[in-house]
Amino acid sequence: MTIKEVSEKYDIPADTLRYYERVGAIPPVTRTAGGIRDYQQEDIGWVELAKCMRSAGLPIEVLIEYLTLFKEGDSTIPARFELLTAQREVLLDQRRQIDETLARLDYKIGRYKIAMEGGDLSWETGEEPDWTAE
């Protein structure tokens, strides 16, 4: 696949693909005899990984570190495991924060819905609302 085809298929600007390759977030892409990028399945796998990780908010530095470790071989499997495990924890913390925010929004939306139906906006008093209640 050409860089244009990969760019269109994965909705990643060609400049971003070049950047990922230049900084070491993905390995050097297979090239034709004329030097044109010719993405093979292995190259596509790295692009998919980068897109997935970046869309989840992981820093580019993590991708670079992961690829560096990968290139060093199987002796870095424990380090790669730790890197991915740590990033998973970061994402789980973000999910918890998002879930809490959604619960608070759901509570407020519910109160406004009640107010629109009954004409009275009131907030529960006394104990803290259960933000996680559906």
For the entire predicted model, the pTM comes to: 0.73
pLDDT in tens, 63-101: 999 999 999 999 999 999 999 999 999 999 999 999 999
CATH code: domain 1-60 is: 1.10.1660.10
Please state, in angstroms and rounded to a whole number, the distance separating the CA atoms of residues 51 and 28. Answer: 16
- pLDDT tens for 5-51 read 999 999 999 999 999 999 999 999 999 999 999 999 999 999 999 99
Contact predicate 52/87, CB 8 Å: no
Segments making up each domain of the chain, as ranges:
1-60, 73-134
DSSP-derived letter for residue 76 is: G
